[in-house]
Amino acid sequence: MGGSLIGIAAVALMALHGRVAGMTGILTGVIQPKGDWDWRLAFLVGAIAAPGLILLTTGTSLPLQAELPSWAIIVGGLLVGLGVTFGGGCTSGHGVCGIARLSMRSIIATITFMVTTFITVFVIRHMLGGF
């Protein structure tokens, strides 16, 4: 259900706007604009409104909080920002839209970040005993 909605949004963004639904590119295009940023900002506003709409319509507040020390959230955020910029995309851009176009770059990128995420979780939880 949730996964299909992500796919429907990706197809709609291509059909109507001719754009790849990659969160890295959309966010970067708003904070450091090179081309048109207005539709990107509108997309971000819509995405941020999602938890509120769910709360209003169903009364449920979904767990979206990291139970982690702040330093870990900050280090994680910095590494994600650096990584997706050099890597040219993230889970949505490479993992969904890129693989759907059978892009070799996206397939390699997705395999790479899935493997390093797996290793990182293993090291933190099973070798370091968690945070």
Q: Which of residues 14-73 bind another protein (CB under 8 A)?
A: 14-21, 23-24, 27-28, 31-32, 38-40, 42-54, 61-68, 70, 72-73
Distance of closest approach, residue 14 Cβ to another protein, in angstroms: 5
State how far Cα 24 lies from the chain centre: 7
- Helical H runs in 49-103? 50-58, 70-87, 99-100
> Which residues 74-103 are close enough to bind another protein by CB under 8 A?
74-88, 90-92, 94-101, 103
Beta carbon nearer to another protein, 28 or 59: 28
Beta carbon nearer to another protein, 59 or 67: 67
Exactly one of 119, 127, 128, 129 binds another protein (CB under 8 A); which one? 119
Alpha carbon distance 17, 25 (integer Å): 14
Distance of closest approach, residue 49 Cβ to another protein, in angstroms: 6
Alpha-carbon separation of residue 97 from 45, 67, 77, 102 (angstroms): 21, 30, 22, 9
Distance of closest approach, residue 124 Cβ to another protein, in angstroms: 7
- CB burial string 27-54: b at 16+ within 10 A, e below: bbbeeeeeeebeebeebbeeeeeeeeee
Beta carbon nearer to another protein, 2 or 59: 2
